[in-house]
Amino acid sequence: MSSTSGRVTLKSFIATNLVESVVVVLFKDKTISKMVYDVVVSKEIEEAKEKICGGDYLGARKILLQVKGNVDDICGMIAVCDILFSASLGFMDCDFYFVLQIPPQATTSQIEASYNKFTTLIEPIANANNNFPAAASALRIVQDAYSGLLNPEQRKAFDDKRARKLESSAAEAKSVKHKWSIEEFGPEQVWGIYKGQDFMPRRYVVVNNSFSWNNKVCATLLEPYDPMLDEEISWVQEHNLPLATGLFKRGETPLDLDLSWFSHSVKCDKIMGESESLYKIYPKKGEIWAIYENYFDGTRRPADVKSDQCRIVEIVTDFSQEYGRIRAVSLIEVPGWKSFFQRVQQPDGDHSVSRKEMMFFSHQVPAYTVEGSDSHGIPKGAWHVEPDALPLRITTLQL
């Protein structure tokens, strides 16, 4: 194949956007393959620029990550996408911690290290001779975040504003119930429902039927089953406190409930009796529960129970009739977040709860573990809990 015919074919390859690997196979000429590579890379970078100009920072980042080889300033271009995306999040006007990809408890050295990393990456493409869009804006955002967090007074003011915003976001989330589908309900299922003065999911119902025509569920409240322990009798009859653990039976009155009443499906053991079915409900391994705060004060008097004061715990063993107890580990809020919790890494955080003490469990809190986010200060394995099911006041161990 002549060099002339090779050049003609090269133009056709470029016109049809064939990738470099195809050209290298067909042409052993390193100069030709380098020319095609430069054209392909240039095209990808131009596409990324268009995405940035249109506000699609994640789309631009995805394109840039696909660029292969040692391309000058590619890491800086990706950093620009990251910063612009972080600054565009609707949580605040601009969250300095998101921008610098550091946790809210970051030290001065961590702030400086992140600032130096980003300025080193972005400065080469933020000058007047480089036309990478918004690089100068990204650099200014980094500088603003750095100066705002490095100044103690400015950082305190920012942290206060951020905390108020978090509180506002939590309150807003608390008013939004999970939207269940009527197809998720079936006969004999047991569910926790929002009920009581503080509207926590402390009561249970068993589903009788569900109706698509009015989007309601016909269910019957579960009631504590006699005989109860003496402590439970005092708890329910003398102090009028709800019971969330133990044996339960069907009540007398069916209810037609809107889907917004339902919190979570309950894992329980159904026991077939001679005249009626019983439902045994205890905290199970891997579940998250709220437990009344005065369980931890030593007196454990039902008269001292305050329904809005709880700790959040993770159940780490199932209830055993042989040992008559379960183990639970205290959880604490992830700093800067109201609906993310992590384990307490100290001996005082481990609790053994006996059968007689299980009445101090307030209710199950729907939750799931997350992969974590270093830039947001959320560790891997943290629990994301349902805001609707969080008591008003949550106490934690003093670390």
Q: Which residue, among 235, 331, 320, has the nearest Cα to 284 in the 3D structure?
A: 320
Provide the percentage of residues in the chain whose pLDDT is more than 70: 79
pLDDT in tens, 132-153: 788 888 999 999 999 999 999 8
**Measured distance CA(76)–CA(122) in Å, rounded:** 5
Angle made by CA atoms 352, 354, 356, in degrees to the nearest 5: 150
Q: pLDDT value at position 170? A: 52
CB 186 within 8 A of CB 168: no
Yes or no: domain 72-174 corresponds to CATH 1.20.1260.60: no
Q: Where are the domains of the chain?
A: 72-174, 180-281, 283-399
Q: pLDDT value at position 2? A: 40
pLDDT in tens, 31-42: 544 454 455 567
Q: Are strands 325-333 and 246-258 parallel, antiparallel or unpaired?
A: unpaired
Q: Which residue, among 56, 49, 139, has the nearest Cα to 99 in the 3D structure?
A: 139
pLDDT in tens, 307-365: 778 889 999 999 877 778 899 999 998 887 878 899 877 666 788 898 888 999 999 99
Q: Give me the residues paired with residue 279 across strands.
A: 248, 270
Flag whether pLDDT at 166 surpasses 70. no
DSSP annotation string for 295-359: GGSS---GGG--TTEEEEEEE-S--BTTTTEEEEEEEEEPTT-SSEEEE--SGGGEEEEEGGGGG
Average predicted confidence (pLDDT) for the chain: 80
